[in-house]
Amino acid sequence: MKNIFTLCLLMLAGFLNAQTVQSPSKEITVTFKLTANGQPSYSVNYQNKPVIKESLLGIALKDTEALDTGFEITNTQNKSVAESWKPVLGEQSVIQNKYNETIFSLVQKTTGRKLNIVFKVYNEGVAFRYEFPKQDKLNYFIISDEKTEFNLTGNHKTFWIPGDYDSQEYVYNETKLSEIDNDKLNLNNGIAVKSIGGRYVVQSPLMMKSADGLYLNIFEAAVVNYPVMHLDVTTTNYKIKSHLVPNAIGDKAYLQTPAVSPWRTIMVSNDARAIVSSKMILNLNEPSKIDDTSWIKPMKYVGVWWEMHVGVSTWDLSGTQDASQKSVGKKPHGATTENTKRYIDFAAKHGFDGVLVEGWNVGWEDWFGNWKEEVFDFTTPYPDFNIQEISDYAKSKNVKMIMHHETSGSVANYERRLDRALNVMKKYGYPAVKTGYVGRIIPRGEFHDGQSMVNHFNYVPQRAAEYKIMVNSHESSRPTGVSRTWPNYIAAEAARGNEFNGWSNGNPPTHETILPFTRLLGGPMDYTPGVFEIKMSHYDPSKTEQVHTTLAKQLALYVTMYSPLQMACDLPENYEKYADAFQFIKDVAADWDESKYLEAEPGDYLTVARKAKGSENWFVGAITDENPRNTTILLDFLTPGKKYKAIIYQDGKTAHWEKNPINYEIKTIDVASKSKLKLTMAAGGGTAISIFPVK
Ligand code: NOJ
Ligand code: CA
């Protein structure tokens, strides 16, 4: 009897200190409270159904008492925000930022230390973060663990890649939460984290779907001066805990008050389109820190690049290495003055903004997997790459050159040389750089996803902004909306790109239907679509590798994979060969006024229509996974009363990503806002549509 009485009292106390924050739509409710021992906790309901059960919050510190239990709430501050802002480049020209916010100010009774937990609740999800206010009792501190929990309500379908502190370049696994098992994967890339004490480490964003049709996504925003958050999943009870990436000596983050953690985000909706179209991650980042952004421009580019990946030419001068640094016998060097001019001519002829050249600088003979600190100097061209002549030629053709800085993971070396490298770019008029971080990080022991590397990836665009240079990083930690703050950070790879199709078992047809729900939530991806010669046997009859899509789907990716930096990655001769299909890549825009996600299902399909910035042209991309798909879309996004011409690039009758990938059809029809279009997609296929107003 006495026990029941105590229990009732405890429940009452819990109920009394529970406070709620709701989304503007009132569909999402967050309940925040302190547990009986004073530990902050939260839970989330969507349409009155629990989606996150009571989950604990807290931070463990090195050498001192944790910031977890013994707290009391000293103040609660609410605010509602509804504002809008204009991204420099984006999927839409105006972004709404609408949420309800509550700041819970806490004090730890035993130590007197202060901690705030801030919630922002949007219509499509919840965000919260830890704030460490300036205080004498907590000045400089070391985070040894973050104890944030996300306790799920069921055995959801999950799209996951294994935890790996150095890479996200994995194929997604689609399993129940209970079936997550990194140890079973045959991992050949990097050093994936094995199970730890019955828990499996996976990466975020973690996209899920519940049995009753709710879409859930756990991610983070504004990762600045903090390590990347992976997730520990206990597969027996669907409990998830944050897993911060350590540094060389096992510490997670070094902070000094005032400081904040990144935002932890939980998106939830019964409509998958609400997740892919959400701008919550961008909204949670700071506004642009660049005042004059006039030099930040969308770019479509070609490059001396794919020809190396498919083994036609090489990065190094001796002509002996392919993409995986295997010896390939003698092949020509790709980055010669003559070959670069050929690409410049091609870009000029077909209206591309830029040309990327890899293998232009000395160092490629021995750059990979060797722990060499000084591989590249980023300033010395190979003797057969006449940088002055090339930049003069590009200028005369109104084509911009894109620099390549492969660091081979030697970040110490790159930071030392960064200003000199940027000065060379300035001197020769290169407005954009593609950086690369292949291999293990030097200084040794650091990981791509640790705090110091996160700082590096944020530092390079800041530094580059001083030179009015745009940045596209490969092998960086994945972006978390930072392009709002540094809009010259126009793209990143940070997932498994199209290139894997050239020299590995590739990306299965489902891959591109998952990325918009995961990697792309954090910002634009340099996926490098546009492969027309789908099968690598084209280059070498003994090769079995191939792109796992039809040609038409490669076109659709220019619309479904948002990026203001888009490569037409195939070789000029392959585009000349399929010139009618190439027309779509020439026409498609890379910066948009509006984006309408018409259909979406993670792992299955995606259809999006986008209006080109400052124009009445629309482009539609529809993709499917390994299953053929028929659908009908309404063109009601078009201006009523206006006439348009639609050019439809679709899979041919016998198209199939594996059996007949290059089979496509192009037709032109008249359309208007009342039109309905039937789309027919092959297995691994897609449809791309250009819609132009008729004068
Ligand atoms: C990996 C990058 O993703 C790829 O685009 C580049 O060509 C190679 N590294 C060489 O830097
Ligand atoms: Ca890569």
Domain co-membership, 279 together with 307: no
Residue 668 domain-assigned?
A: no
Helix (H) or strand (E) holding 345: helix 337-350
pLDDT score at 330? 80
Share of the chain above pLDDT 90, in %: 92
Nearest to 488 by CA among 507, 516, 514, 468: 468
| Per-residue pLDDT at 634 | 98
State whether 510 and 375 are in the same domain.
yes
Place of tokens 């994967």: 185
Residue 414 confidence (pLDDT) above 60:
yes
User: Are 510 and 391 in a shared domain?
Assistant: yes
Ligand nearest the Cα of residue 528 is 1
CA of 305, closest atom in ligand 1 = 7
Are 477 and 441 in a shared domain? yes
Q: What's the confidence (pLDDT) of residue 1?
A: 46
Verify that 33 and 140 share a domain, yes or no: yes
Report the SS3 class of residue 489.
strand
Residue of 475, 499, 512, 545 marked catalytic: 499
**What domain range is 540 assigned to?**
299-591
Structure tokens at 529: 């679509």
Number of domains in the chain: 2
Give the burial string for 85-102 (b: 16+ CB within 10 Å, else e): eebbbbbbeebebbbbbb
Q: Are strands 299-304 and 354-357 parallel, antiparallel or unpaired?
A: parallel
As a whole number of angstroms, the distance between CA 670 and CA 362 comes to: 53
Residue with tokens 């590995």: 504
Measured in Å, residue 69 CA sits from the centre of ligand 2 at 42
pLDDT, averaged across the chain: 95
Any residues with CB less than 8 A from the CB of 153 and at least 6 apart, and which?
A: 50, 51, 52, 53, 210, 238
Establish whether 169 is a catalytic residue.
no
Q: Tell how many helices (H) and how many strands (E) occur in the chain.
A: 13, 36
Dihedral angle over CA of 660, 661, 666, 670, nearest 10: 110
Give residue-wise pLDDT tens across range 19-31: 999 999 999 999 9
Q: What is the pLDDT of residues 94-111, one digit of tens each?
A: 999 999 999 999 999 999
**Chain position carrying tokens 């569909």:** 27
Tokens of 41: 């906790």
Which pLDDT score, from 0 to 100, does residue 511 have? 98
Expressed in angstroms, the distance from the first to the final Cα of the chain is 83
Q: Are 613 and 589 in contact (CB under 8 A)?
A: yes
What CATH number is attached to the domain comprising 539?
Answer: 3.20.20.70
Asked whether 470 and 296 are in contact (CB, 8 A), the reply is yes
98 shares a domain with 240: yes
Residue 8 is predicted with a pLDDT of: 55
In this structure, what token pair is assigned to residue 72? Answer: 């009391």
Please give the share of the chain, as a percent, with pLDDT higher than 70.
95
- Do 684 and 580 meet the contact criterion of CB atoms below 8 Å apart? no
Q: Within this chain, do residues 219 and 311 fall inside the same structural domain, yes or no?
A: no
Atom of ligand 1 nearest to the CA of 434: 5
Report CA(557)–ligand 2 centroid distance (Å): 18
**Best mutation site among 314, 375, 406 for ligand 1 pocket (most ligand atoms within 8 Å of CB):** 406
Angle between helices 387-396 and 337-350 in degrees, nearest 10: 10
Residues with CB under 6 A from ligand 1: 305, 358, 406, 436, 438, 474, 493, 497, 499
pLDDT, tens digit (0-9, with 9 covering 90-100), for 147-167:
999 999 999 999 999 999 999
Domain boundary pick from 573, 591, 609? 591
Among the candidates 591, 618, 641, a domain finishes at: 591
HSE-CB of 48 using CA atoms within 13 angstroms: 0
Residue ending a domain, choose from 591, 623, 656: 591
Mean of pLDDT values over 666-670:
98
Task: Report residue 344 as tokens.
Answer: 């410049």
Rounded Cα–Cα distance for residues 436 and 336 (Å):
21
CB atoms within 10 A of CB 320: 15
Return d(Cα 448, Cα 451) in angstroms, integer.
Answer: 9
Return the CATH number at 166: 2.70.98.10
Tell me whether residue 607 is in a domain: no
Report the separation in Å between the CA atom of 586 and the middle of ligand 1, taken as the mean of its atom positions. 24
Do residues 124 and 155 both lie within one domain?
yes
Tell me the CA distances in angstroms from 365 to 265, 306, 318, 332, 440, one per residue in order.
Answer: 44, 19, 7, 14, 18
Pocket test for ligand 1, best of 448, 499, 527 (most atoms within 8 A of CB): 499
What are the respective helix, strand and coil percentages of the chain, to the nearest 5? 20, 35, 45
Instruction: Give the ligand with the smallest distance to the CA of 316.
Output: 1
The ligand 1 atom nearest the CA atom of 475: 3
Q: Is residue 249 part of a domain?
A: yes
Q: Tell me, yes or no, whether 220 and 325 share the same domain.
A: no
Q: How confident is the model at residue 7 (pLDDT cuts 50, 70, 90)?
A: low
Residues 6+ apart with CB under 8 A from 294: none
Mutate to test the pocket of ligand 1, among 170, 314, 410, 474 (most ligand atoms within 8 A of CB): 474
The model's pLDDT over 224-268, given as tens digits with 9 standing for 90+, comes to 999 999 999 999 999 999 999 999 999 999 999 999 999 999 999
Residue 98 included in any domain? yes
Q: Is it the case that residue 454 has pLDDT exceeding 80? A: yes
In this predicted structure, the answer to whether residue 61 has a pLDDT above a threshold of 80 is yes
Q: Is residue 84 part of a domain?
A: yes
Contact 457, 471 (CB under 8 A): no
Residue 196, pLDDT score: 79
Query: Rg of the Cα trace of the chain?
Result: 26
The confidence band for 16, taking pLDDT boundaries of 50, 70 and 90, is low
CA dist., res. 168 & res. 245, Å (int): 13
Per-residue pLDDT tens over the stretch 530-543: 999 999 999 999 99
> Each residue of 539-594: pLDDT tens digit?
999 999 999 999 999 999 999 999 999 999 999 999 999 999 999 999 999 999 99
d(CA 654, CA 660): 7
210 and 319: one domain? no
Residues 6+ apart with CB under 8 A from 695: none
* Tokens matching residue 301: 């580019």
Per-residue tokens: 82: 């509804």
113's tokens? 């230390």
666 lies in some domain: no
Query: DSSP labels for 11-23?
Result: HHHHHHH-EEEE-
- pLDDT mean over 269-273: 98
Give every CB contact of residue 89 below 8 A, 6+ residues apart in sequence.
Answer: 296, 297, 298, 487, 490, 564, 591
Tokens of 393: 């030629």
Backbone angles phi and psi of 499, in degrees to 5: -55, -30
**Is residue 650 within a helix (H) or strand (E), and if so which, with residue range?**
strand 644-651
Q: How many residues does the chain have?
A: 695
Query: Does some domain include residue 498?
Result: yes
pLDDT in tens, 192-210: 677 777 789 999 999 999 9
From the CA of 309, how far away is ligand 1's center (Å)?
Answer: 9
pLDDT at 183: 80
Separation between Cα atoms, residue 227 and residue 165, nearest integer Å: 10
Residue 8 located in a structural domain: no
CA distance 304 to 571: 8
Residue 618 pLDDT class (50, 70, 90 cuts): very high
| CA 475–ligand 1 middle distance (angstroms) | 8
- Joined together, the tokens standing for residue 274 give 């609400």
197 plus 119 within the same structural domain:
yes
One domain for residues 223 and 325? no
Distance (Å, whole) CA 594 – CA 92: 4
